[in-house]
Every structure is written in structure tokens, then in C-alpha cells.
Amino acid sequence: MIKVQATINGVISKSATVRTASDGKKFIGFPVKLTVPGSRNNMPGKELTVSVSKDGDESELPAFAAGTRIEATGTLTFRKTSDNLFFNFHADTVVLCPESDKDAIKGTLEFKGTVGKGVDERTDKKGGKYVSFSAYSTEKSGDALQFTWVRFIKFNYVKEAFLEPKMKIHATGKLTVSAYNGRIDLDCRLEEIKPWERQPFTPAKDNEKPPF
């Protein structure tokens, strides 16, 4: 599970439409385009599309026309299909034509998943201890399991005994979204990490084994 209490700033690329949820409640939906920076100074950024939903009806449609810049706060989730990572955002508040015209996607990430192959323990130039590692969240997509990876780093931290490869963790921290060679990367500067016990589900098939 990956969920982010986030703020996004971008431009509506297609005018909003009204949709009806399974419970019969109406909402409006529209795509927002924004560009995330390259993960390194010499790396180009990448444009991505965030699918935004918001409680509302036909009366609000004129305000959410294509070409309008918005800044919105709400809940960001991810859906992985094959090698494609989709961004879904439910907006709690929306500011039209905000003061800032800078594309942005930021917030506090909550993650439940599995540590990858290794945990690096390092020391910075001032003698401070820190760790870095990658971990993945597993979601069901049709008949297959999809693995969404996040890179974590935690400063001023001495590795605890539970933080080992293949261990389940519950982590929170600040999200950074960037691009590397055309690929979207998710990074998190950890604020809190603890063990997590996942509820059991149907065992994986041969083609659904963890990506080790």
C-alpha cells in the first residue's frame, strides 16, 4: 500500500466531465499535466498526467476547463500496470489559478511493503549515520501482482534489527517524484519506520513471485 497526503500544481489538459460512482454519487474528473524534474542536474524532466477526481456536479464544470492551472490538496495513490505507473488523485480542496505557476507534486507518503535485496549503512562527512534501501509495495492487478518500488533514505539513524531484506515495513516520510532516463522514480526521506505484519492473502503463482 502506498498513499500520499499530497499537493499538486499543474494544468488541466482536458475539460472536466461529470461521472457517477458505484454508490450513485456524482463527482467530476479531469486530467492534470505537470512536469517532474530530473533526478540529477543534467537529467531532463518528464511530463506526467495525474487523474484527478473531486466531489461535485455539472454546476462546477465551467471552472475546470482545459488550460486552467490548479493547485490541489488531497490523497494521491498509484496504480501499476506492466511498466506503467499511473497517478490517481482525489482532491479535497482546489485553488484555481494559484499564485504559483510552478509544476509540483509533493507530500507525506505512507508505505506498507517489503524491503528489497539490501540495506546500505553509511556515514556522512560529519560522522552521522544514515541508511538507504529500496522497498516494494505489492498490489493485485487482474490476475497478476504488480510491484511498485520506492527508494528510502533516513538520516541520523542507526539501523534497527528488524530492517533487513525481505522484511515487511510500515514507513512514512516526505515524497519526491523525479525522472531518470525517462522513468518515473519515487523517493522518500524517512521520518518513521517500524515493522509491519501483512494480512495473509492467496499465495503467488510462479509468475507472481517477488522480484528478487
Question: Are 78 and 56 in contact, with CB atoms under 8 Å apart?
Answer: no
Residue 62 is classified by DSSP as: G
Kindly report the pTM of this predicted structure. 0.86
* pLDDT tens, N- to C-terminus, the chain (212 residues): 999 999 999 999 999 999 988 888 899 999 999 999 998 778 889 999 999 999 999 999 999 999 999 999 999 999 988 788 999 999 999 999 999 999 999 999 999 999 999 999 999 888 899 999 999 999 877 778 889 999 999 999 989 999 999 999 999 999 999 999 888 999 999 999 999 987 665 554 444 444 43
Residues with Cβ within 8 Å of 189's Cβ and at least 6 positions away in sequence, in order, are 152, 153, 154, 155, 173, 174, 176
74 membership: H or E segment, kind and range: strand 69-81
Question: Are 103 and 35 in contact, with CB atoms under 8 Å apart?
Answer: yes
Report the distance separating Cα 186 and Cα 151, nearest Å: 6
Asked: is 2-105 a CATH 3.20.20.70 domain? The reply is no
Cα 9 to chain centroid distance, Å, stands at 15
CATH classification for the domain delimited by 108-195, as one of 2.40.50.140, 3.40.50.150, 3.40.50.300, 3.40.50.11030: 2.40.50.140
> CATH 2.40.50.140 residue ranges in the chain?
2-105, 108-195
